[in-house]
């Protein structure tokens, strides 16, 4: 009888005891939604012009020395993400004011030289993104199209070092395909930070130059074909996600 009473009391106690449910699982982070942000970075542009108009110093087909322009940039970006399981697809556009500049000197066939300086004023991209998310971290790749605005100027000297002409390349826009990759981290509620690398291969383009002779004062035009041109950019951005 004693054993029976103990069993009944224990059963009653268990039946009346409150149920303790397992704690809810932590919510899984989701990257879906719109975002807008700001970015800073550095760029390196490589350009190799080839003459397409003949002159005594630089005949048709003459390849000028490669010009390396580098400097800082800063601007904004915006986009949209949609997460499917651990994969994140999206689209992103950005625009950056740039201060990339560089110069190159080339010796002509008669011993004269051309001094050329280029300056990149802005860079813009529009690309699709594909990411792999692990909670609030995401690795991503991107592919799309890029544009940049630039202008150039320079001078030509004869073999004796006399400045025979000066020229300008009016501001123009170049464009071409771009690819990139990076890592992004949701560092706080609705905020994320990213580190990204982009590469751009610009399409071939003609540079139309306006030259002024320092001897006669006459104005003439020239053309150089940009057969090799590329841009490398590293950017650090911070965005607010809606």
| Strand residue runs (E) in the chain | 33-51, 67-84, 87-107, 113-134, 137-157, 163-188, 191-201, 205-213, 219-241
Which domains are assigned to the chain?
33-241 (2.40.160.20)
CA-CA distance, 153 to 156, in Å (whole number)?
11
Dump pLDDT digits (tens) for 13-38.
444 444 445 555 555 789 999 999 99
Dump pLDDT digits (tens) for 48-101.
888 777 677 888 888 889 999 999 999 999 999 999 999 999 999 999 999 999
CA 117 to chain centre: 22
Dump pLDDT digits (tens) for 191-206.
999 999 999 999 877 7
Across the range 40-48, mean pLDDT stands at 93
CB atoms within 10 A of CB 31: 23
Confidence of residue 188 (pLDDT cuts 50, 70, 90): confident
pTM of the model: 0.83
């Amino acid at each position: 009888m004693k054993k029976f009473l103990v069993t009944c009391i224990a059963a009653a106690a268990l039946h009346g005891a409150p149920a303790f449910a397992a704690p809810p699982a932590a919510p899984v982070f989701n990257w879906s939604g719109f975002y807008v942000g700001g970015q800073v970075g550095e760029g390196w542009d490589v350009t190799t012009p080839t003459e397409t108009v003949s002159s005594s110093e630089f005949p048709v087909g003459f390849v000028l020395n490669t010009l390396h322009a580098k400097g800082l940039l800063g601007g904004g970006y915006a986009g949209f993400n949609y997460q499917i399981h651990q994969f994140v697809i999206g689209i992103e556009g950005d625009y950056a004011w740039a201060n990339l500049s560089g110069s190159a000197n080339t010796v002509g066939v008669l011993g004269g030289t051309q001094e050329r300086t280029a300056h990149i004023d802005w860079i813009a991209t529009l690309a699709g993104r594909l990411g792999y998310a692990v909670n609030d971290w995401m690795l991503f790749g991107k592919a799309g199209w890029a544009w940049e605005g630039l202008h150039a100027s320079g001078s030509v000297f004869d073999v004796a070092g006399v400045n025979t002409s000066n020229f300008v390349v009016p501001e123009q826009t170049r464009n071409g395909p771009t690819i990139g990759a990076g890592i992004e981290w949701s560092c706080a509620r609705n905020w994320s930070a990213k580190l990204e690398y982009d590469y751009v291969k610009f399409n071939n383009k003609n540079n139309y130059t306006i030259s002024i002779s320092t001897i006669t004062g006459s104005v003439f035009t020239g053309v150089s074909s940009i057969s090799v041109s590329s841009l490398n950019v590293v950017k650090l951005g911070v965005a607010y996600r809606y």
